[in-house]
Amino acid sequence: MDILGIGWAELVLILIIAFTVLGPERLAETARALGKWLYQLRRLSDELARPMDSELKEVTRNLHAIQKELDALNRDWMYPMQSEFVNVSKAVPRVSSSSELSFRPPAPDAMGTDSDLPDSPTIAPPVPGIEKQTV
Confidence at residue 25, expressed as pLDDT on a 0 to 100 scale? 82
Backbone torsions φ then ψ of 6, nearest 5 degrees: -110, 125
- The answer to whether the Cα torsion of 87, 90, 91, 92 is positive or negative is positive
Question: What is the band of 21 on the pLDDT scale with cuts at 50, 70, 90?
Answer: confident
| Cα within 13 Å of Cα(116), Cβ side | 5
Confidence of residue 69 (pLDDT cuts 50, 70, 90): very high
User: In this structure, are residues 11 and 2 in contact, taking their beta carbons and an 8 Å threshold?
Assistant: no
**Res 116 pLDDT > 70:** no
Q: Name the average pLDDT for the chain.
A: 76
- Residue 62: the pLDDT is 95
* Domain residue extents for the chain: 8-91
Model pLDDT, residue 83: 77
Give the pLDDT band (50/70/90) at residue 67.
very high
pTM (global) more than 0.75? no
